[in-house]
A and B are shown apart, each in its own frame.
Chain A
Amino acid sequence: MAEVKTKGEVVLNRVAIVAVVVALIVMLTPIYWIASTAFKPRSLATTVPPTVMFEPTLTPFAKLFTKRSQLRQPVEEDVYEAAPWWEKLIYDDGEQVVKNRKTGAITSSGYWDRYKNSLIVSIISTFLAVSMGTLTAYGFSRFKVKGEQDWLFFILSTRMLPPVVVAIPMFLMYRTVGLHDTHLGLIILYTAFNLSFAVWIMKGFVDEIPREYEEAALVDGYTRLQAFWKIVLPEALTGIAATAVFCFIIAWNEYAFALMMTSRNAQTAPPYIPSQVGSGLPDWSVIAAGAFLFLLPVAIFTFLLRNHLLRGMSFGAIRK
């Protein structure tokens, strides 16, 4: 349909576009900065003013995944030639990969392990929070619950305290029961964080689904659980996607508890990246590479769910 716009509307439209572009630039600059620094050689990472045109290199990533030491003397020709491409990049930068004296195995930096921990903890806790939240929301939405309002308020109230306030007692409790520095410990913690949030958002979505759909299924001979699977879940998918993205982001980015509750085994990426800043002279491009890789899962996850999110972000307004 062709829309006829008045002159005023055209001007307004342009102003809006300019505003959006400005806002985008402001918001995306830090991300661009991190992304570009991740591909800069060390020498260009901290130049003032920042270098915009440069030849991108994978050196920061090669360094990110390995443990290195300074080269005392130039590396021998044949050793250099025999090395894989990423090791050459490290040699080029005047460093060498630390290797096991006996086996010659490469010592990894630990970044990948932390990254894996982040993935495990975030994915599992998101799954738990969203599935339990959806079921709880369904219960509150469809059944008469005694003191429903009070329960819902109670659930929300668990988020009213800044979580760090309870960090020390939590820490002591975790130490006592042996959850300190375990995946399970962090998963429980993040699930608990996100659950209240998931219940509230999902309740909004489930409330929007006409109960007539399920009731028709019940009359048709389906059990309550089958009706939930066949009718409610597909209808709630939009809300589930939105909730999952939020929960994932919160779990993925969580820093304070990850720092306190883990030390080696279960440490996630957020506390690890800044810990690298402290050791010696910071290598900003390596840190940027770490941060850049860290940004990717949320971006990918959000991108995959984008169709659901566009509708889901309007919180429950599924129907026209």
Chain B
Amino acid sequence: MARIELQNITKRYGGTRALKDLSLTVEDGEFFVLLGRTGAGKTTTLRVVAGLEKPDEGRVFIGDSDVTSWTAAERDVALVLQQYSLYPRLTVRGNLEFPLRPKVRNMNEDEIRRRVDRAAKTLQITHLLDRKVERLSGGEMQRVSIGRAIVRDPRVFLMDEPLSALDAKLREALRVELKKLHQDLGATFLFVTHDQVEAMSMGDKIGVLRSGRLVQVGTPSEIYERPHNTFVARSVGTPPMNLIEGRLDGESARLGSFVLPVSSPANSEQKVTFGVRPENIVIQSGAPAEARVFDIEDQGVIKILALDMGDTRLHATVPAGTHVNRDEVVRFGWKPERVLSFDPETGRNLAL
């Protein structure tokens, strides 16, 4: 077990800079999720940590050692990929044994067998051990991939979207299992995903990555409640946070012709982008603002309303019992203490 620290990592591929001055710390035993869209540099970050890629600038630490110049083999990390991490020529057992067989490990057959059996049991794949990898379903393959990682007690676990190729049900099940595995092993996990639900539900900490830069690091609730900027704000939550252009004037927010209360007053009048999550919008007769219902999505427990306020499209989640009709004009307000203000130019959270 060990902590991971990246210091000012820059990685270039030809002209493109995949990582820009990236610094990041994953504490010992932490489940750290790196969240980012496609091309954000998630895989590159993992490859730099694993030693498959040399950074152009910056240093990598695992535990107390500066491993920047170490080879992948020396770093003693485990890497689980979205696909292709199993050898098609080998059986499941062969694949699980593979990481134990390098000469440097010098492990005897009994020990290998014991570890493979233990890992197989943990992941409930004992019945698959003699099967060829090609004959496995996607979910089974990913279990085996994770098994390959846990057979040898690596110092840290690196996972590159290991669940993203699976269907929704399976993903959910494996998510829970991975989380449990993390608790049982007490190991350091650096987990990479583009799926915000995965990030929110699994991470002790989340790092939001955007074009090779780390935008914000925090616990899931910090990321959700106190995003540093509009990008982070829209990265988590479904539907994403509503962003509304308006003016902040004393204790009131002016949205077009409507005036709504806010709890963080400004001294001088200024242009602001207000951010409010759909669940903090309240539909109520007599509320200060007005919008037309454009669409209703009934999700059982809740309804998601798409509202048109002038040119602005908003989303609101309301209890399923709420009666609204399409094209109906409704009155709405918001919970003033949950409204965030962002700089309309830079997107920065004005409260921070």
Contacts and interface: CB of A to CB of B under 8 A. Distances in A.
A213 B72 contact: no
Given A220-B98, A221-B73, A222-B73, A213 B84 contact: yes
Contact of A218 (B73, B76, B84, B152): B73
Interface string B58-75: 000000000000011101
B99 A215 contact: no
Nearest to A226: B102
Contacts of B71: 218
A220 B102 CA distance: 8
Interface in B31-76: 50-52, 71-73, 75-76
Interface residues of B, number: 25
A256 to B, nearest CB: 42
A231 B98 CA distance: 11
Interface in B77-106: 77-79, 81, 83-85, 87, 89, 98-99, 102-105
A221 B81 contact: no
Interface in B2-41: none
Contact of B81 (A216, A226, A235): A216
B76 A221 contact: yes
Interface string A201-244: 00000000010110111111111001000010011000000000
B259 to A, nearest CB: 57
A221 B84 contact: no
A218 B72 contact: yes
B145 to A, nearest CB: 9
B42 to A, nearest CB: 15
Contacts of B105: 221
A216 B79 contact: yes
Contacts of B148: 216, 220
Nearest to A221: B102
Contacts of B50: 215, 219
A222 B102 CA distance: 6
A216 B104 contact: no
Interface of A: 210, 212-213, 215-223, 226, 231, 234-235
Interface of B: 50-52, 71-73, 75-79, 81, 83-85, 87, 89, 98-99, 102-105, 148, 152
6 tightest Cβ-Cβ pairs between the two chains A and B: A212-B84, A220-B99, A221-B102, A218-B72, A219-B79, A221-B73
